[in-house]
Chain A
Amino acid sequence: METSFIKALSEIVGEQHTLSDPESLACYGYDSTPELQSRPGAVVLPGTAEEISKVLALCNGAGVRVTPRGSGTNLSGGSISFDAGVVLQTSRMNRILEIDEENLTATVETGVITSTLHREVEAKGLFYPPDPGSMNISTMGGNVAENSGGLRGLKYGVTDDYVMGLKTILADGEVLKTGGKVVKDVAGYNLNQLLVSSEGTLGIFTEVTVKLIPKPQAKKTMLVHFPQLEQAALTVSHIIAARIIPATLEFLDRTTIKCVEDYAHVGLPLDVDAVLLIEVDGHPAQVEEDAAGIRDICERHHCSFFQTAASPEEALKLATARRVALSALARVRPTTILEDATVPRSCIAPMVKLIQDTAKKYDLLIGTFGHAGDGNLHPTCLTDERNPDEIRRAHLAFGEIFEATIAMGGTITGEHGVGVAKKKYLPKLVGESGLRVMRGIKGAFDPRGILNPGKIF
C-alpha cells in the first residue's frame, strides 16, 4: 500500500493506531478459519464512529477495499482482507453506553465483548441470551455481522432475535440509523434485519441496541447417555413434541465422547453412541416439571444413564464433557476444521449417520458435537495441514456433507457465516434469484464495492 495513503489513514486515526509493518500485517492476515491467510495492506484501529466514517470516505474515494474485524474469531474467512486492502479493527470502541431498565434494552459500542455485556446485564437481573462459543472474546459488532448463535439458540433464538437498533457507517462514510428502542416499527423496509448477518459487506456498525429479557430464576442441568444414536435423536424430537423447550440441548457423538474421555477423564462410557446435555430454565415450578418430563422421555428411549445436577457446582461438572468437546478434539491432530452444517431437528440422526459414513469413506477422523435442539451440528475434522492428500479428502467429504444438508432442507452454515469458506456452496442453496437479489442489495449499499469484497457471493 502506498505510503501517502497510509499517512492519510494515520492522520485520521492517529499514528499509533495505524499499522503497516510486515509483522503486524502478518498477524492481521488470519482469523480463526483454518487454511485461509492473506496479508492486508494496512490495519487501522479507529476509536470513534467519526473516525470510521472518515476512513471509509477516504477508502471509498480512493477505491481501497476495507475489511472490518472485531477480535478475529471468524470461522469463514470473513475478517481476512484478500486483496491487500485495509483491515479495520473495532476493539477500541468498547463502551457499554446504556442499560435501559425501563425499556429493557442495552446500547453498546461495536467492540464490546459479548460476555462483558452478559455480566453487566446479569448483575441487574437481566439477560442477553446469545452465547456463541467465542463469547469471551467475540465483539457485539461481529456477532451482529455474523448473526452469531450459541448453545441457547433453541429456546432463546440467535443474535437477530435481539437486535433492535443499529448505527452503521455506509461505504461512503454516511451514517445510517436503523430501528431503535421500539418493539413495533414498520416504517419502510426492515433494514435492521437486513444488516444482521451481512458479514461486513453492507456497512460497519458503530452502535448496537439489543433487547434484554428477565434473567431466568432457576435452572436444572441433566446429562444422559444413549447406547443408540437413533434413540438419542428420537429423544430430542420427543422432548420438543412434548412442548418442552430446553434452554440447552447439546449432543456429542461417539468419536467426540472418546476424545473427551481421553483428554478430560470425566467418566464417560466408551460404548455409547451419544451423550446429551440438557438444561431447562425458567420459573422454579416449571423447571421441576420440565425436568421430570425429560427424564420420563429419556427413560422411555432406553437411556443407559441419567443424572440431574444437585448443585450449581455439579451442573458445571456435568457440562464439562460438552464444554471441553472442542478442546478434546482439537488436541488430537494439529489442524482442526470446524464446520456448522445445520439440518431440521428431525434429521439429526440421519445427518450424524451420514457424517460418520462420509468420514469412513474418505478415511478421515470426524467428531460431531453441537446443538441438537436446533439441528446445528459441528462436524469437526481432525487433520494435518502438512498432509495435502488428507486435506483434499476433507474438502471432498465436507462437499458431500453440505450437499446432503441442502437435500435435507438444511443450510450450509448455521452460525459461522458464508465468508469465503462456504462461498462455493451458496448458489446451490439460494439459487440464481437469491444471488441476484443479494447482489442488488450490495450494489445499493456499496456501489463501488469496497466493503469486504469477495465475501458471501
Chain B
Amino acid sequence: MDYVKLINCMRCGMCLPHCPTYKESFLETASPRGRVALVRKFQEGELVESEKFLEYVSLCLDCQACASACPCGVNAGELVAEFRCERKQEQGLSTMEDLILRKLVPHPDRLEAATAPLRLYQRTGLQKVVRSLGLLKVFPAALGRMEGLLPKLPDAPLRQTISEVTPAVGEQKGTVGFFLGCVMSLIFSEASLATVELLSALGYKVVTPKDQKCCGAPNMLGHDIDGLKEAARFNTDLFQSQELDFVVTDCGGCGAELKKYGHHLDGETAATAFSTKVRDISEILATEAATLKNKLKPLPLKVTYHDPCHIAHCQGIRSQPRALINLIPGIDFRELPEADACCGSAGTYNIEKPEMSDRVLSRKVQNVQKSGADYLVTSNPGCLLQLKKALTEATPPVKVIHLTELLQMSLNA
C-alpha cells in the first residue's frame, strides 16, 4: 500500500459525522479516521494484526461516505479494503472462498443452477411450511437471515430470458450494451426489464451479451484481487468487441466496479476505454430528460429516494435520480433525511455483522418514516433486498422499488 495515502489523513475528523458505524458507537476505532490510523500504525509496526485489530477493521461497511466528506481526498473505506486485499493475497483464499469466488461467482450458469432450488423452495410452498414451523431457528443464524432477506424470485433469471438484441422504438439514436448484474438478473429481473424498456423507448438499441460474467465486486469484497482482475479482463474483451456508445447498468455496485476496471487492470488501454463508456442508468436517462418528460404520465405518489453508497459515494451520482423522479407529473417528492447514509446492506455485511447492520438499518427506517413517503426508490440490489424486507415489515409499510420501475409505471400509466 502506498504509505503516502495513509499520511494524507490530517485527522481533522470531518469524516466522523458521515460514518454510519461511528454515529452508532462514538468509538474512534469505528471511525474512518481511526481505521486509517490503525492501518498506518500496522504499517509502521506499532500495532499487530490482533483479533481486536481485525474486528475493528472489518466493522467498516466500505460505504465510502467518508471519501465524500474528506477534505484531503483520503478514501478510508478503500484504504481499509486495499489493506485487507493485501493481507488476503499473502494468506491465500480458504477452500470455501475459493469455491464461492472462483468456482461459482464467475460462472453465471452455475450461479443460476445454484439458486434454482430456492425458486423451487418458494414455488412448492416449502417456504411457507419452513417459516410456519419455525424451522429456520434450528439453522445457523446467518442462514436464517439470508432466507429472511429473499423476496419472491422471478420464474427464470433474466439472463436466460432476455433477447440479445432489443431494438430501439422509433428512430435509433444509438447502441448501448446492457450489463446485467448477477443479483439484478437473478432476483430483480423486473426492474432490469424496465431499464431495457426505457432505453428502447428513448431510441436506444440495447445489446445484452449473454456470455457476460459477474462484475467482480464479490471478489473485491472477498479481497480476491486475482479473481477481480479475471472478471475485469473478460468483460472488457466481451463488451469492447461490440460497437457500443455506452455500457449501461442499473446496478450501483456493478457500475462502481465497472468504472474502476481501468484502475484494476493498471491502466490497460482497453479496460480504461471500457470504463469510460460505463454509465449508470440514471446518467443516461438524465441526458434524455426532455424526451422522457413528454412520455411520462401522472403518478400521484409520495416518493422518497435513498442514495446507494455505490451510486452516491463511489460514482458521485446524486442529482440525476432526483431530477428523474421529479420529471413525473403529479409526483410528491420528499427528500429523505440522511439520504446518502448506508442502509447497512453493504455486500454481505448484513449477514456477517448483523448487530451493527441492524442498528444502521433501523436509523434508515426511522428516516424513511419521517419523510412520510409511500414509496422508497433506490437503484442498487443490495439496498433493495435490505430495505424491502425492513420496510415491508414496518408500520405503516413502505413500498420499495427500483428507479426504473417507478419510471416504467409512469411511462405505462
Residue ranges of A at the interface with B (Cβ–Cβ < 8 Å): 19, 21-24, 26-28, 30-34, 45, 71-73, 89, 91-92, 113, 134, 136-137, 324, 326-327, 330-331, 334-336, 385-386
Contact = CB atoms under 8 A, between A and B. Distances in A.
Which are the 4 A-B pairs with shortest beta-carbon distances?
A327-B71, A91-B26, A27-B28, A27-B34
B347 interface: no
16 contacts: A21-B50, A22-B47, A22-B52, A23-B38, A24-B52, A26-B47, A30-B37, A31-B13, A32-B12, A34-B10, A45-B26, A73-B12, A92-B26, A136-B14, A327-B73, A336-B10
Given A21-B52, A72-B28, A331-B72, 12 more contacts: A19-B29, A24-B27, A33-B11, A45-B26, A137-B13, A137-B16, A324-B71, A327-B71, A327-B72, A330-B10, A334-B8, A335-B7
Interface string B30-57: 0000100110010000110010110010
Contact of A385 (B7, B14, B34, B71): B7
Interface string B1-27: 000100110111110110000000011
A331 B70 CA distance: 10
A30 B10 CA distance: 11
A331 B73 contact: yes
Given A28-B28, A89-B26, A334-B8, A134 B13 contact: yes
B11 A32 contact: yes
Contacts of B53: 23
B124 to A, nearest CB: 45
B17 A136 contact: yes
A122 to B, nearest CB: 15
Contact of A23 (B10, B11, B52): B52
Contacts of B4: 334
A66 to B, nearest CB: 17
B71 A23 contact: no
Looking at A24, A27, A92, A134, which has the most chain B CB atoms within 10 Å of its CB? Answer: A27
A211 B26 CA distance: 28
A334 B74 CA distance: 11
Given A23-B56, A335-B7, A113 B17 contact: yes
A339 to B, nearest CB: 14
Contacts of B11: 30-33, 72
A26 B26 contact: no
Contacts of A34: 10
Interface residues of B, number: 27
Interface string B327-369: 0000000000000000000000000000000000000000000
Contacts of B7: 334-335, 385-386
Contacts of B41: 26
A134 B17 CA distance: 10
A71 B37 contact: no
B13 A27 contact: no
Interface in B214-272: none
Contacts of A71: 13, 16
Contacts of B71: 324, 326-327, 330-331
A92 B38 CA distance: 23
Contacts of B14: 134, 136-137
Nearest to B37: A27
A117 to B, nearest CB: 13
A19 B29 CA distance: 10
B38 A27 contact: yes
B34 to A, nearest CB: 4
A23 B29 contact: yes
A91 B23 CA distance: 10
Contacts of A336: 10, 72
A30 B36 CA distance: 12
A23 B42 CA distance: 10
B59 to A, nearest CB: 12
Contacts of B16: 71, 137
Looking at A26, A33, A335, which has the most chain B CB atoms within 10 Å of its CB? Answer: A26
Contact of A26 (B8, B27, B38): B38
A439 B50 CA distance: 44
Looking at B12, B14, B27, B73, which has the most chain A CB atoms within 10 Å of its CB? Answer: B12
Contacts of A335: 7, 10
Contacts of B37: 26-27, 30
A390 to B, nearest CB: 14
B13 A23 contact: no
A50 B264 CA distance: 53
Contacts of B72: 327, 330-331, 336
Contacts of B13: 31-32, 71-73, 134, 137
